Structures are given as C-alpha cells and as structure tokens.
Structure 1
C-alpha cells in the first residue's frame, strides 16, 4: 500500500479519451490502461445520476464516465492514500466534481455506508497472490494483488447500489464463474476479445439490481483488427477506437 504522496517528478500526465482528460499517474507503480476506460464506457449512465467507483485508483474510470455524461455526481473509494490524492487532483484538473473517500472496501466508511448510488463500478485486483508473485512496487501491488475476495467486492457493490441501479465490473475471464455466483438481479456478460479467433482475456459483467431477466451472454467485443500486431502501429477496431478516443458508450447485447 502506498501512503506517502507522489512527488511531481514521480508523475506523468497522460491523455485519455482523445485528450478530453489529463490524468496524473505514477511513472512507476500502478498505471491505468484501457481496462478502466472500457469499464466506464459500459455504464448506462444518464445526466444527474450518481456513481460510486470502488477502488478508484487515480480516478480514471469515474472521470471517464463524468467526461462522457456531464452532470453525473461521482464518488470514489480508494484505500491507498497516495492514489486517493491523485484521484482528487485529477478531478480538479479536469473540472469534473468528484468526491474521493480514503478507505477500504472491506470496511466501508460511514459516509458511503449510509448511501446508495445509481451505478457502482469496480476494477478489482486481478491476481490471487496465493498463486502468484507480488509486484515490487507497493502501490502497484496494492492495485493488482487480491487481498479481499472477489465475491466480497461484488457484495459491497450490490449493497451500495440502489434497487434498479447497475453494478459493472471488469475482470479476468477465468474469474467469470465467481462473478456470476456473486452477482444478483439481471446480468449481462460481454467478453472482450483481443483479436478474431483468440480467447477472451477479460470480461465486462453488468448487473441490474432487482432485475428478473435471464442471464445474457453477449457477442464478444473485438478490440483489435488483424491476426497479429503490425509493428508500432495501433490497430484498434473502429468501434474500440471510438470508445477509447471519442468517449463513445460500449453497448452490450444489441
């Protein structure tokens, strides 16, 4: 866990959503990639609604939602104080109001425990450290190494979600069984396919609390064109580029 603040020289300032957002994040440690952007694009948010990002890190996912849907009321929970400070600074830098609370999903702070939100999102740590190697950087390990079981993340998200609201989670495809066992209500699953013919490495799972519709397994979302990466050139599909660069929403079953 990273508690001490980042010095200015420790940070890079990176563009997200085609320059709509400027995000300060550590040069070393946990750095946001496309996963939180895809998670944000999956949220069926509307102006005036509320959103809570569990484990918000530097704030990328929540701020991507706020950039796409103006007038959202955003909140984030982050247990690493240094990253919580980054999230608060990134919100201010981009002119997007966001309440950032320092605390643990496993011991929800009172200020959040008394509230429910229209949308709750999470990008939980991917790796079980009972079967893997810890990252050398404390902040990176805090973001990637699972300390709280995945089912507990989902349970916390469901408690903070209002009836009829949505819980959205991105995670590794091999953990899909755990996600489905923990989710409640109407659930949709969107596999994220690296290239045509490849197995999904990640899945987006979206549940509507209190919904009664049957489980829906959607057609996989293709991230890249071609059978292999063509050197240094980016080869995102047009639809994925629109999500990552133009702040387009990411549809599930169409």
Structure 2
C-alpha cells in the first residue's frame, strides 16, 4: 500500500517542469535535492544510482536536465518507493526504483556499477536531537545508517573514475571526508551560504573514485541576495534562481 491521494500534495519543481507528488505530512523535498541534481556532471548514456531516493525529486530533476541517462534509485520505505515510481511515470522521466536498505544492498544492485552515485543522506544524528513524530520524515532526516556506510556503498558501486556527488550539513563535513579515505580523489567541496557573510549551513561534495587530484575547498555559493530577509518575496540570486526555476546546471568555481 502506498500513500492515499488525499494525503498527497502535488508540488512544482524546476519552474513547473516537474510536478511531484509528496506526502502532506512526512518528509517533503525542498531545494536540497535540486541543488544535488544540478551538481552532477552527467552526460547522455551514463548510469546514475541515487541512494535513498525518497519520492524521486533529485533523480527526476537530473533526468529532466540531462536526457538519455539510465536512472536507478534505492529506497527503504515502500510508500516513498511507490511514490517515486508514480512520479517517474507521470513526469515522463524513466526511473527504476528498487526497494531495499543500502546497508544490505539487494543483489540486483550489488552486481551493477554506475558512472555516478548521488545521495542526500539524513542530516541529523539521532543522539543529538528529538525524533520526528512522522515515521517517514524521521527515516529521511534522522540517521540510522552511519554516514560512513552511505559513502562505502557509493564507492563500491562506482566504476573506476566514477563520480560521487552528495549534499550534507556543513558541520558533518569532517565525518564525510574521513569516510572517503583513500578511495577517492579530486574532492571538491562547495559550501552553500544563505547570505553573503553568513556561515555555510550545507555543503555539496564531489569526488572521483581512484582520483589522484588534490582536495579543493571552493568559495561559498551565496543563495540569497541582501544581508537579511526583508519581506515575503523570493530573494534567490540569479544563478540560484536559474537552477531552481529553469533547471540549469549549478556552475562550480574552477578548483
């Protein structure tokens, strides 16, 4: 059984290019998976695996921007996996969704390798906060599987020279870097700052399996114009607005 229609909303992404069903109560995707998708340097004909795909927003955004990809996702929660399949069909973006736990990857995925692995792992360590009352939201936001396992699974599923792309809270960057160990190089980290002069709350990370290039901490991307929120209006910078509303790729500074 999946979500009943009266428990769902239909939300627009990429300026209306995608119409995605999400639960009214539960985990609801915002801009984070859009930034994740916009950061993937994918090309037609390549294969992509999303770990913990939820309702499918990141993969569908990526497939909308880059035609000809083979998109696959794994999702632990049956209701969200069913929703991702429905969103795939209704938006005309082919997307294979496998139900399973990344910590015990189904055999059908253990036998495959991918050009890209993308992930938006849970942000919060449960010992550091209060659990959400909604089970779906709690599973999406509260870490049950260690971040190191997410990284390990990603690296194992990548082809040589394949690329990992992740988004995570800035405070967990040391843990993320430690989990990458010697299997990855050419690591680039792009901090996302809400406004100029503010601390980054999120980071985007890209890494190449078996890469040998140096680490690069890039200048932060500022999301909003102005020093503070000055009213009920959208204040995204033009570059960010192009990503969120037009489906543009996110331009990373040169490392």
TM-score (ref. length: structure 1): 0.97
C-alpha separation in 2, matches of 1:6 and 1:232:
32
Aligned-pair CA distance for 1:115: 0.5
Q: Deviations over 1:25-64 (max 9, x none)?
A: 0001000000000000000010111100000000000110
The residue number in structure 1 matching 2:193 is 193
Gaps of 5+ in 2: none
Aligned-pair CA distance for 1:230: 2.0
Contact 2:185–2:215 at 8 Å: present in 1 too?
no
C-alpha separation in 2, matches of 1:185 and 1:121:
16
Contact 1:188–1:252 at 8 Å: present in 2 too?
no
Written as runs of structure 1 = structure 2, the 5 A alignment for 1:200-215 is 200-215=200-215
The residue number in structure 1 matching 2:38 is 41
Aligned-pair CA distance for 1:210: 1.1
Gaps of 5+ in 1: none
Query: Does 2:239 align with 1:242?
Result: no
Q: Deviations over 1:75-99 (max 9, x none)?
A: 0000000000000000001111110
Q: Deviations over 1:145-168 (max 9, x none)?
A: 100111110111111111111001
Secondary structure of 1:185's match?
strand
Instruction: Tell me which of 29, 52, 57 is aligned to 1:60.
Output: 57
Aligned-pair CA distance for 1:229: 1.1
Aligned-pair CA distance for 1:180: 0.9
C-alpha separation in 2, matches of 1:177 and 1:29:
29
Secondary structure of 1:14's match?
strand
Contact 2:63–2:71 at 8 Å: present in 1 too?
yes
The residue number in structure 1 matching 2:179 is 182
Secondary structure of 1:9's match?
helix
The residue number in structure 1 matching 2:88 is 91
C-alpha separation in 1, matches of 2:217 and 2:251:
13
TM-score (ref. length: structure 2): 0.97
C-alpha separation in 2, matches of 1:19 and 1:39:
18
